[in-house]
């Protein structure tokens, strides 16, 4: 799909011209006002659509009126959603050329228009034998070219992340992730099992032991001259989470190919970062492995030692993400970066708390955490702060080691957060739990079911605003 900038979208010979209608307002096309608004009483409620043929009386063959709702409630998020809705309608009708004439919007819609269009255009059909090419090919709109270009790149990073997280675990293995990381043309180091052993990553390696797939610890680095800041982004990279010996019930295991969505997000960001050439140093880190119940699998009651020397009693092999992140956090903190952000499909408890609409965020620096919440909001994502109080460590106390990897069921997202905090040293850190947002089981707003690329927009937004 390509977005072309035009002065007057209504003059394009398009399959469909999309126009907007605010409640109690008018569209920019007389024909639509006459038939949709006056005769058919189309109100323009948010997200509703009305289709009208032009029978050769206009350069475009049809008009699609999209309801923008109440003008005072309209915002960039709604514009993105309405655009997505229009794109989906147009592709259902197999339109190839679509022009957009948005009127009366009192903010620059360029970026969110492009985001909505690209998110809605996404399909994961590589394994379908009859791929119907229903993609809209050309979009025409009056917009800010620079902003469209920027959104195109962010959307490409999202698509990259979504494809990876949607890819079945049989293909998206730790080795595959490391190969992908190696191909970005960044300074990249992949550590294999023996090297991780030498680095003392006993927590990460314990998780991967039950699988026949080799674990890989991935470190990508984007550098520039005189960076304003140095940031590390860590993605949970459990390529499949069976639960291990504390095996998951079938219904919970079904979507666990998505347990590397944090890693997919980091790879998405690193895939495009050079094209933005930001003035910050960015380290992308992934401890990739599978959590499987093989003969060598780690067991409940085992005691493992993380890179910082802390010992962990295994209470539940299904609380594996925090173990892999523990070693990744130690590693990141040693890089001497200013800030560390981890993204992880970490807890079912976070899904219970926030559902699929918001990611949970916790951090050790209020200003930093709140900055990320703001950045998420500006970039079309929702982060909601969960507490990271010491009390949540109570249930992680162990009789035999420095801590357990899981404890009480209640407050599980915060317990996981305080666990991670034990591996963070001398750095501003934020942990983002994307368990509910990274992969959705039903279509939601601009997204189809499946991977959403959660975190990509916010991380890139944050890196670019430095
Ligand atoms: N990957 C899961 C968390 C998850 C759940 C992600 C649902 C996406 C959707 C994680 O590894 C896990 O199994 N967490 C356990 C922790 C518990 C054993 C302390 C959980 O949340 O049940
Ligand atoms: Mn698990
Ligand atoms: Zn997991």
CA angle 380, 385, 391 (to 5 degrees): 160
Helix segments in 209-354, DSSP class H: 250-253, 261-276, 321-333, 348-354
Give residue for tokens 């009208």. 52
Closest atom, ligand 1, to C-alpha of 416: 19
Which positions ≥6 away from 343 have C-beta within 8 Å? 233, 234, 235, 236, 261, 262, 265, 266, 432, 434, 454, 455, 459
Measured in Å, residue 319 CA sits from the centre of ligand 1 at 6
Strand arrangement, sheet containing 303-305? 303-305, 311-313, 403-404
Measured in Å, residue 435 CA sits from the centre of ligand 3 at 9
Closest atom, ligand 1, to C-alpha of 412: 19
462 pLDDT more than 90: yes
SS3 content of the chain, % helix, strand, coil (to 5): 35, 20, 40
At 133-143, the pLDDT tens digits run: 889 999 999 99
Closest atom, ligand 1, to C-alpha of 409: 19
Measured in Å, residue 243 CA sits from the centre of ligand 2 at 5
Which positions ≥6 away from 355 have C-beta within 8 Å? 436
Q: Is 248 a catalytic residue?
A: yes
Residue with CA nearest ligand 1 atom 13: 318
131 pLDDT more than 90: no
From the list 80, 209, 257, 322, the catalytic residue is 322
Mean pLDDT along residues 306-332: 99
Residue with CA nearest ligand 1 atom 9: 435
Mean pLDDT along residues 251-260: 98
Tokens read off for 129: 């034998």
At 12-23, the pLDDT tens digits run: 999 999 999 999
At 100-123, the pLDDT tens digits run: 999 999 999 999 999 999 999 999
Mean pLDDT along residues 184-200: 98
Q: Is 153 a catalytic residue?
A: no
Q: Provide Rg for the chain, Cα atoms.
A: 24
Which pLDDT does position 134 carry in this prediction?
Answer: 85
Give 390's Cβ-side CA count (13 Å radius): 0
DSSP readout, 54-84? -TTSSSSSEEEEEEEE-GGG--HHHHHHHHH
- Give CA separation, 317 vs 178, 248, 252, 303, in Å: 24, 10, 15, 12
Q: Are 294 and 183 in contact (CB under 8 A)?
A: no
- Give CA separation, 444 vs 85, 112, 275, 347, 400, in Å: 11, 17, 30, 21, 45
Measured in Å, residue 256 CA sits from the centre of ligand 1 at 9
Which pLDDT does position 427 carry in this prediction?
Answer: 98
Residue with CA nearest ligand 1 atom 7: 348
Q: Which residues line ligand 1 (CB under 6 A)?
A: 241, 259, 316, 318-321, 345-349, 351, 406, 412, 435
57 pLDDT more than 90: yes
Tokens read off for 149: 């270009």
């Amino acid at each position: 799909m390509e977005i072309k900038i035009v002065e007057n979208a209504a003059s394009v010979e398009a399959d469909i011209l999309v126009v907007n209608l605010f409640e109690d307002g008018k569209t920019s096309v007389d024909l639509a006002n006459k038939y949709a608004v006056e005769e058919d009483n189309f109100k323009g409620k948010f997200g509703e659509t009305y289709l009208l043929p032009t029978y050769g009386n206009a350069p475009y063959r049809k008009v699609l009126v999209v309801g923008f709702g109440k003008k005072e409630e309209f915002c960039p998020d709604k514009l993105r959603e309405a655009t997505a809705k229009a794109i989906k309608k147009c592709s259902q009708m197999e339109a190839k050329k679509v022009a957009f004439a948005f009127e009366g919007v009192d903010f620059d819609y360029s970026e969110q228009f492009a985001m909505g269009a690209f998110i809605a255009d996404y399909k994961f059909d590589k394994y379908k034998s009859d791929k119907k090419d229903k993609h809209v090919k050309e979009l025409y709109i009056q917009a800010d070219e620079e902003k469209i270009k920027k959104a195109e790149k962010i959307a490409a990073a999202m698509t990259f992340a979504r494809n990876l997280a949607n890819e079945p675990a049989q293909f998206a293995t730790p080795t595959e992730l490391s190969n992908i990381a190696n191909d970005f043309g960044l300074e990249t180091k992949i550590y294999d099992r023996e090297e991780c052993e030498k680095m003392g990553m006993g927590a990460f390696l314990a998780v991967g032991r039950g699988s026949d797939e080799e674990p890989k610890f991935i470190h990508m680095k984007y550098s520039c001259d005189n960076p304003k800041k140095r940031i590390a982004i860590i993605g949970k990279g459990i390529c499949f989470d069976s639960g291990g010996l504390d095996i998951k019930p079938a219904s919970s295991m079904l979507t666990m190919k998505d347990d590397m969505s944090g890693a997919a997000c980091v790879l998405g960001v690193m895939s495009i970062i050079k094209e933005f050439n930001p003035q910050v140093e960015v380290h992308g880190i992934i401890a990739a492995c599978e959590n499987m119940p093989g003969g060598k699998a780690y067991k409940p009651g085992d005691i493992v030692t993380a890179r910082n020397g802390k010992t962990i009693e295994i209470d539940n092999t299904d609380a594996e993400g925090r173990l892999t992140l523990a070693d990744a956090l130690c590693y990141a903190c040693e890089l001497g970066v200013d800030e560390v952000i981890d993204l992880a499909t970490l807890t079912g408890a976070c899904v219970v708390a926030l559902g699929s609409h918001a990611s949970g965020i916790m951090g050790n620096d209020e200003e930093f955490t709140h900055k990320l919440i703001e950045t998420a909001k500006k970039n079309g994502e929702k982060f909601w702060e969960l507490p990271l109080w010491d009390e949540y460590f109570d249930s992680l106390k162990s009789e035999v080691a420095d801590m357990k990897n899981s404890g009480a069921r209640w407050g599980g997202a915060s317990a996981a957060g305080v666990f991670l905090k034990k591996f963070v040293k001398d750095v501003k850190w934020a942990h983002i739990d994307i368990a509910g947002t990274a992969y959705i089981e039903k279509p939601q707003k601009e997204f189809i079911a499946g991977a959403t690329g959660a975190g990509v927009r916010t991380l890139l937004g944050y890196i670019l605003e430095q």
